[in-house]
Amino acid sequence: MQDLLTPDQLELREFVREVVRRSVAPRAAEIDATGEFPWDVVEAFRSAGLMGLPFPERFGGTGSGHLMTLVAVEEISRACATSGLILAMQGLGSFALQLAGTDEQRDRYLPKLASGEWIPAYALTESDAGSDAAAMRTTARLDGDLYVLDGSKRFITNAGVAQLYTVFASTGLSKGHAGISCFMVEADSPGFEVARLEPKMGIKGSTTGELVFDGMRVPADNLVGAEGEGFALAMRVLDRSRPGVAAQALGLAQGAVDHALAYAKDREAFGQAIVKHQLVAGMLADMETRTQAARGLLYDVGRMLDADADGPSLTKAAAMAKLFCSDTAMAVTTDAVQILGGYGYIKEYPVERMMRDAKITQIYEGTNQIQRLVIAREMAREARDGA
């Protein structure tokens, strides 16, 4: 659907595709097999300037905007979802700073992130506080000119490889979500530890770990926004990061469609290519249609973000894109495995990896059950004719 992008945007997309062909696609299977974080891919992204896509030019970024960052995540994820997540995390780990950081905080951290010198992480989830973020038990108390953090976070992407963590903690447990605050935590802060890394079904080259804060002390000026503003900030961040998950999912779906089509054109059964068999052709048609429809939703959100949209309309659109793109990725990758038959189930072809990688997109950044609640909630608030 080239008419969705301008000529300049198409040129940038082609540049990203070339980086992917050269530095990502040849490594995708090995990254999955070893489960090792791909620092060589990070270096390739740094050299190409891709780590700066989510950042304004004043901080050393490319100023390309949200839409083109999403397009880049999509293109990378067509070959390797782990590598696509690296770029998506540059946004997620920095959005709190971009939205609510002071000038000093932004000047201190954003150039390091935009250059790719530093990799960020986003620490909201806890063992008993996932979808219910207000149930978090990690605390932060002011002690002179320092905050002291105690508690833990779970399922944190980039754990152990990030140099900067956006951490949410309660400065008033009795206040629920109104007591949550946001802090920037550097990886070498005393009392901070990555307790373990999780073995996973998919996105194996991306680290996912547990963070522990044991009397960890951070300067008071590392507070982002005011005390008690963290929950609202976290939700605004998710409105901007959920499209990144959607882009990762869309890339997986498109990659699976491409591989399934190529196989179906080459594989013969009963005297003809299986792409000509009605049942297989019907599956491919549905896969293509769902993928293109998902792209329309995602690119619309990218344009909304580039137009500085905020509030309920963005919340709903981001949830819809995340929901539909990730459900599409799971359905399409599963069908791709089916089309390839026995070959789809073994590692000779990448579709089994894509199916495993796709599953997480329905879970993180808010499960798809939560996305449906968010969408319905915003629908109920809307004033419509006949409603």
Residue 348 known to be catalytic? no
Please provide residue 73's backbone torsions phi and psi, each rounded to the nearest 5 degrees.
-60, -40
- Reported as a single tens digit per residue, the pLDDT across 193-229 is 999 999 999 999 999 999 999 999 999 999 999 999 9
DSSP 137: -
Does the structure show a pLDDT above 80 at 160? yes
In the block, residue with structure tokens 């997540």: 85
List the beta bridge partners of residue 157: 208
Given a contact cutoff of 8 angstroms between Cβ atoms, the answer to whether 266 and 276 are in contact is no
- What's the one-letter identity of residue 347? K
- Reported as a single tens digit per residue, the pLDDT across 232-267 is 999 999 999 999 999 999 999 999 999 999 999 999
Domains of the chain, start order: 2-115 (1.10.540.10), 120-227 (2.40.110.10), 231-381 (1.20.140.10)
- Reported as a single tens digit per residue, the pLDDT across 263-277 is 999 999 999 999 999
Provide the pLDDT for residue 387: 64
CA proximity to 287, closest of 341, 359, 335 = 335
- Reported as a single tens digit per residue, the pLDDT across 301-353 is 999 999 999 999 999 999 999 999 999 999 999 999 999 999 999 999 999 99
Catalytic option among 75, 210, 352, 365: 365
Show the tokens assigned to 382.
């809307």
**E-only strand ranges, 136-289:** 139-143, 146-157, 164-170, 180-186, 192-197, 208-219, 223-224, 268-269, 272-273
Mean pLDDT score across all residues of the chain: 96
Does the structure show a pLDDT above 70 at 288? yes
The helix or strand, by DSSP H or E, that contains position 120, with its residue range, turns out to be: strand 120-123
CB atoms within 10 A of CB 153: 26
Provide the pLDDT for residue 386: 74
Given a contact cutoff of 8 angstroms between Cβ atoms, the answer to whether 276 and 282 are in contact is no
Provide the pLDDT for residue 134: 78
For 257, the 3-state DSSP assignment is helix
The pLDDT of 66-70, averaged and rounded, is 98
Cα–Cα distance for residue pair 4/79, rounded to 1 Å: 21
Q: How many residues does the chain have?
A: 387
CA proximity to 92, closest of 303, 318, 255 = 318
Long-range contacts at 107-110 (CB < 8 A, ≥ 24 apart)? 107/59, 109/164, 109/184, 110/55, 110/59, 110/60, 110/61
Provide the pLDDT for residue 3: 66
Show the tokens assigned to 1.
């659907």
pLDDT level of residue 4 (50, 70, 90 thresholds) = confident
- What's the one-letter identity of residue 208? T
Does the structure show a pLDDT above 90 at 129? no
Cα–Cα distance for residue pair 7/11, rounded to 1 Å: 6
- pTM to 2 decimal places: 0.96
Does the structure show a pLDDT above 80 at 35? yes
